[in-house]
Every structure is written in structure tokens, then in C-alpha cells.
Amino acid sequence: SHAAIKIQPMRQFFSSGHTNNWAVLVCTSRFWFNYRHVANTLSVYRSVKRLGIPDSHIVLMLADDMACNHRNPKPATVFSHKNMELNVYGDDVEVDYRGYEVTVENFLRVLTGRLPPSTPRSKRLLSDDRSNILIYLTGHGGNGFLKFQDSEEISNVELADAFEQMWQKRRYNELLFIIDTCQGASMYERFYSPNLMALASSQVGEDSLSHQPDLAIGVHLMDRYTFYLLEFLEDIHPSSKANMNDLFKVCPKSQCVSTPGHRTDLFLRDPGSALITDFFGSVRKVEITMETINLTEPIHFVNEERQKETYSYVDQLPVSEIIHQKPKQKDWHPPDGFILGLWTLILLVFFKTYGMKHLKHIF
């Protein structure tokens, strides 16, 4: 006897309006002393994975490698606190863009979806109009810009335009933008697309500070805002009912020294009704069916008569063959500009010296 299954009414599953979740987590700083930025990004990655978003829906961009850096006294680990309890790097991390690939161009291409056709799926943001996207940026920034890898910057105007492109292409349902840099609030000043909510770790004119250094590793391990954000997120579980107003309270001035800011005027819902798990967790569409499905017949392999040719392994270093190798016939290329120009010059000089009347003797 089987227990009677209560069929839940479908409507209460999709009350928030989104059906899938994506996350784009970017660390823009290079060099060992920017360890804390990588730790920031990895701690958000860890929380987002723990709350249910799979690796295929996370685009993780790390501009430098801290875990296997030769200066790291504990390889393959990135810690958030000097007690070294939490290894935010973990054992099954998948980084999609790493090293020199983290550029402004690649970031904007990921957001807008305008990637070359051969880009693999794990490097694409394949969101649709029912996706909630979390975007997290960290690094060194200033009033109106964020520095990528010490060689280029992204301005707040570019970022706002990228989000507008995403809105027009219906690439998101709601978007949560978190930035942890100095003067981070300047990055969301210029947003103008609907359904955006933004959080920053400091206001214009303020610096975001790092949490604490670790003398064994020798660098600051994490930034204050993200440290307290991680602490807050560790208490969230996939069925938690905490909402955005709780997130705005993370890291008050007493802990952060800078004043975190947020912007909700473009967000159409009330922030109190948006759950944390709407952005940090993952909604999976599950359809329960009671019908049975017949699987198709297995593929029948026809045992063809294979040709009875014998194969063999190739000689790895056939010395005599190599010595007597004929030079390869190069493909014929049409003569390039230099050769053509040279011949034109020769012909011109020839006809100049000998005059045009000789032309008819030739043709």
C-alpha cells in the first residue's frame, strides 16, 4: 500500500515571478596583496552554491590565482578569517574566467550575451526573462569607476548601459547588484533600467576597509563588508524567509567604518517582499507527473562486416624516414603586395628606359 500523495496547487510555486537563478561573481584585482578580493568573491560563490545555485548557472571570474599561488603557505586554500576554519575555495570549485581573461570587454560580453559562437556554455550567461541574477563585483574602485587588473576601468555609465541592454533583450527578471569597493555607491548612481536593486559597501568619498590581516599568510584576508555579509549568509538556509531589509542592515557603520548604501527606487516590488533566497538561492521548476513513460527500444547495432585490414602502431621516431623527408609542397598563395609592387617597379623602370614603342614587340 502506498501513501496517498497530496497534489499541491501549482500556483503557489511561482509567486515571485522568476523560474531560474544565475550569478555572475567577479574579482577584478590581480597580485598577491589583493588576496582579499579573491576571498570576497569566493565567499559569495560558496554561499550561492550552498543555497542551491548549480555551477552551470554561476559565472565565476577571478583575475588572479591565490590558492595555488607560490606565495600561499597553504596551497589550494583561500581563507576568510585568520582562524583558518573556513576554506572558501573548497574542493569542487569551477572558475569560468581566470587570469587574463577577466577584462572589461569579457565582462560586458557575458552580461549582454554577445559572445563569439565558439564560447562554451559554462562561460555564458544564458538567462532569460524569468531569471533572477545576482551580480557581485569587488576590487579597487573610485568615484564612478572600477579598476580591472590594474590596466583598465569600467565606468558606471558603461555598467548602466549594459544593464539597459540586458533589460531590452529581456535577459533578466530582477537583478541584484552588490559591489564591495572604495566609493562603491558611485557605481549604481547611473542605473536607469527597471527591476534593479543595488548594494554597495561604501558611499562616495569613503573607503571600504579590509577586515584583518593574517600574519602567517601575510596579507589581509577579507574586506569588512563581505566578511559580515558572509556571516549573515551563513545563517541563511534554502527555506529561510529573511528578506532584503535584513540584507540592508548588514555591516552597520560601527562594524564597517564605511557606510553601506543601497538603492531600491528602480525595484518594482517592495524590498521587504523580496526574499534573500530569491537571489542567492535557486528555484528549480519541478513538475510532478503520475503517468508512466515508455522508453524507446535500445539501438540495434548492426554488425557490419569490417574490413579485414590490419592496423598497426606508428613508429615514434623513424630516423631514416625523417632524414629523407621531402620538403612539403607548400600551398600556392597568390603573390602578396610586396612582390607585386616590386614587379610593377621593375616593369615601370623598364618601359621608362626603353620607351613604350617596344611594347608592341612584346605583345
Partner 1 sequence: MRWEETVVEEATADKEDTSAPETVVQSSVPQPKDDFQEELVIRPLHSGDIYASFQFRTLWETDFMRGNKVSHYRLFPKSLGQVISKFSVRELHISFTQGYWRTMQWGQPFLPSPPGAELWVWFQDSVTDVDGTWKELTNVLSGIFCASLNFIDSTNTVQPSASFKPLGIGNVTDHRFLRYATLPREIVCTENLTPWKKLLPCGSKAGLAVLLKSEKLFHSSFHSQAVHIRPVCQDWQCKTTSWELRQTLNVVFDLHTPGQGKLEWSLFKMFSRTLTEACPLASSSKIYIDITDDPQGEQFEVSPATHLLSQAMVLGDRRTFSVYDLTQQITFGTVRSLNLLIRWKSSEDMLRPLLHAERYVAGYGLQTGEIHTLMYNNHPYRSFPVLLLDSVPWYLRLYIHTLTVTSKGKDNKPSYIHYQPSKDRVRPHLLEMLVQLPPNSVTEVTVQFERALLKWTEYTPDPNHGFYVGSSVISSLVPSIVAMDTNSTREQPLFSSFFPCKEESSYFMRVYTEPLLVNLPTPDFSMPYNVICLTCTVVAVGYGSLYNLLTRSFQIEEPSPGLAKRIANIIRKMRGVPPL
Q: How far is the CB of 81 from partner 1 (least distance, A)?
A: 17
Q: How far is the CB of 39 from partner 1 (least distance, A)?
A: 15
Asked if 361 interacts with partner 1 (CB under 8 A), we say no
Among 67, 125, 221, 229, indicate the residue that binds partner 1 (CB under 8 A): 67
Return the half-sphere exposure (C-beta side, CA atoms, 13 A cut-off) of residue 299: 3
Asked if residue 21 lies in contact with residue 125, where contact means CB atoms within 8 angstroms, the answer is no
CA 56 – CA 48 distance, rounded (Å): 12
The answer to the question of residue 315 lying near partner 1 (CB under 8 A) is yes
Separation CA 44–CA 67 (nearest Å) = 16
**191 and 158 in contact (C-beta within 8 Å)?**
no
Q: How far is the CB of 26 from partner 1 (least distance, A)?
A: 15
Instruction: Report which secondary-structure segment, H or E, holds 215.
Output: none
How far apart are the C-alpha atoms of 362 and 38, rounded to whole Å? Answer: 74
Q: Does residue number 337 form part of the binding site for partner 1 (CB under 8 A)?
A: no
CB of 258 to partner 1, least distance (A): 26
68 is catalytic: no
Give 110's contacts (C-beta < 8 A, 6+ positions apart). Answer: 24, 59, 61, 97, 123, 124, 125
65 binds partner 1 (CB under 8 A): yes
Give Cα 321 to chain centroid, integer Å.
49
Catalytic residue at 70? no
Instruction: Report the amino acid identity of residue 287.
Output: E
Q: Which of 27, 182, 251, 256 is catalytic?
A: 182
> Of 44 and 229, which has the nearer Cβ to partner 1?
44
Contact between 85 and partner 1 by CB under 8 A: the answer reads no
Return the active site residues: 140, 182
Interface residues toward partner 1, by CB under 8 A = 30-31, 65, 67-68, 74-77, 87, 89-96, 98-101, 116, 118-123, 149-151, 297-301, 306, 308-319, 322-323, 325, 328
